[in-house]
Structure 1
Amino acid sequence: MTENPPAGIDISTPNVARIYDYMLGGKDNFEADREAAEQIIKAFPESREGVQLNREFLGNAVRHLAGDAGIRQFVDLGAGLPTQNNVHQVAYAVNPDVRAVYVDNDPVVCVHGRALLASSPNVAMVESDLRKPDEIWSRVLETGLINADEPVALLLVAVLHFLDDPYAEVARLRELMAPGSHLVITHLSSKDDRSGDTETMRQVYSRASSGVVPRTVADIQRFFGDFELLDSGDFISPRALERFAVLGWAGVARKP
């Protein structure tokens, strides 16, 4: 991305979505984002591969849900910048009738996202904040793409670790989902043997647009409530999950 951005974009402060974009090999980032990403990579050399594996997990989960699970509508919260192999593109390849809504709380990301998605049918991007679940659901339904009475796949991919205590908000979103819906979560995990590196990563993100809160696997799984956790090995290789476990944990669960 050019270092002469449109008015209103702060290129001096690292942005979470743009750091992620850089790690994925994208071009929608600035020098501050690249510097922050390289500091994270220095502390966690596995982080670049971890981002790729996170994306791999997302793609496999979406294919499974659009295919075997028969899900026709997807809501991606904290979606960030549209990149390659987006949720709607992966789902369309399985079923062209799928509808998708992306949600982000960054107005600049939303403006850019709408421009990138303008030519995509049955896709929308809305601005809202995960800390306001009822507002999110209202704005998602206002697009006309999501039917609240039908099962939906709600994606919380690499987003919850940027919030201090989002358990009540996620619980409310679970309540709003119809039976048969699925919840997809990927999350940075905390490990005692990497506490120093984790602290370095915290410091980098504290200077960015959001802090970061890694959690234990048990604490991550609490986000699913009473949903039925699926065996991820049914749709992603155990080797990929093992490699991803160095940095995080991922799972998919179904609402009874």
Structure 2
Amino acid sequence: MQNTLLKEIFLSLSAVLLGFILLNAQAQAQTNRVAIVIDDMGYRYTDKHALTLPGAITYAFLPHTTYGKKLAKQANNDDHDVLIHIPMEAENRKKLGPGALTSNMNEDAIKKSLTASFAEIPFAIGINNHMGSYLTQLYQPMAWTMDFLKQHQLLFLDSKTSSRSKAEQAAIDYGVPVHSRHVFLDNELTDKYISQQFEQLINLSQKHQMAIAIAHPHPETIAALNKLIPTLKFHGIELVSLSSLYPAPHDNNLILSSD
């Protein structure tokens, strides 16, 4: 009888140990992840330095800029995710660059503009908004934008320049894969500020298993990120391409005509 009792205790302990092993394996499989998107690429020759950042950085290029097409090709050839950083109307009515979407454009004008932007960078996997604090609050232009993205199997990242943005809801309504930015890393170009924002990114990733940051190709930002990105592994966090945070694969070889 004693042997039977000991056997039952052993089996129970073995089951508990196996449970711990399985839970640990599951926790390790669910690695916390972050994506870092470098916006505003393409205007300056020095933007090329951002392409040297370590790891799976995602790059967002402004359409029809002096260096955008060339640098976007380089990023794509190096297996980085590429977005088109579409200028959108801001509340302060700040001047927009080429390829911009505004509230006075109808559906046809919005879709023609997006088509022209993708004709220049056809391998882009989707878009995020440059400025857009006004336009993203308007459901109708966002719906037209999402209809275009849905037709061409593209994704959307809401830069979240307005807390009242309707872009994410429009994306959901039209079945477009969507996420929103969680952290801006370099609203202030000091090492202290960028480090604090990076710490916030780490905390959000650990809390929610993923987080998305946006930064810009400033020399101060590049210098800070070169130091900070390697520290992610010490927190058990993986730097991943933006597309890997979305639920489905996307066609990176889409070719659109500007006709």
TM-score by length of 2: 0.34
Larger radius of gyration: 2
Q: TM-score, normalised by structure 1?
A: 0.35
